[in-house]
Amino acid sequence: MSYAKVTLSPKELELVNNADWILTKNHIIGKVYDLFGALANHYRQELTTFKSFQDEIAFDIPPKISKGEQYEQLPYVMLDFPRYFTESDIFAIRTFFWWGNHCSIHLILKGKYLTALGPSIDRYFEMYGKYGAETLDWYIGVGSDPWQHHFEKDNYIPMQDWNGYSVTRLPFLKLAKKIPLQEWDDIENFMKSQFTKMLTILSDY
C-alpha cells in the first residue's frame, strides 16, 4: 500500500523549525490566565454589592477558568462566573478570549432564570431604546446553540436589528459585548464594567 507524501509549504517549514512563536503563544495564554484570575476575584467582590443576589445559589459555585485549542480552530480561554448549568436552567456570565479575534463577555439565561430576570432586561431596553448610546454596543443571540460565542450574523446580531419582543419568549437568552484584542490595555476595565452592567440590568430595572 502506498501513501501520498506529506509535504510542508515554505511557511509551514519555517514555523516548524521555529520554537519561539509557540513559546510566545504559551506566554500570552499564561497572561490571559492571570488576567482572568484577577477578573474572577473582582467579580466575586463586585457581587457583594448586589443585595438581590446574596442568596442566589448560582453565585455559591466558585469561578472556573479553562482553555482549549480548537474553538473555530483557534486557541481560547474562558472564565465562567456565575456558572450554574442544568438541563433546564442556566445562569452564567462567560468571559471569553479568542485568539486572533476578540475578548467578549456573554450573559446566558435559561429556564427559571430567564423567567425571573428576563422582565428586568425587557425594561432596560424599553427605557433606553435600541438605538441609544446606552444600548448601542449590545448583541443578542439568535443561534440555536448557547455555547457558540462568535459574532457572525447566524449567532449574534446587534440589538438594534432585533425585532424587539420580550426576551422571556426565547428558548434561552444570550446578551454579549466584545472588545478587539488591539485594545488589550483596556480589556480588564471593559470586563469589570460590563460584568457590573449585566448584574445591574438583571437587578435594577
| Structural domain boundaries in the chain | 10-203
Predicted local distance difference test score (pLDDT) of residue 200: 96
Closest CA to 86 of 146, 38, 18: 146
Which residues lie closer than 8 Å to 68 by C-beta, 6 or more apart? 75, 76
Angle at 107 between CA 102 and CA 111, to 5 degrees: 145
Predicted local distance difference test score (pLDDT) of residue 6: 87
Predicted local distance difference test score (pLDDT) of residue 1: 58
Which residues lie closer than 8 Å to 6 by C-beta, 6 or more apart? none
Closest CA to 92 of 189, 201, 197, 175: 175
Rounded alpha-carbon distances, angstroms, from residue 142 to 36, 63, 132, 153, 204: 27, 26, 21, 8, 25
Residue 19 corresponds to which cell in the numbers above? 520554537
Say if residue 171 is exposed, middle or buried (CB neighbours under 10 Å; 0-12, 13-18, 19+).
exposed
Which residues lie closer than 8 Å to 56 by C-beta, 6 or more apart? 82, 91
pLDDT along the chain (205 residues), means of 10: 79 88 94 98 95 90 96 96 96 98 98 96 88 86 95 94 88 97 97 97 90
Predicted local distance difference test score (pLDDT) of residue 136: 84
**pTM > 0.75:** yes
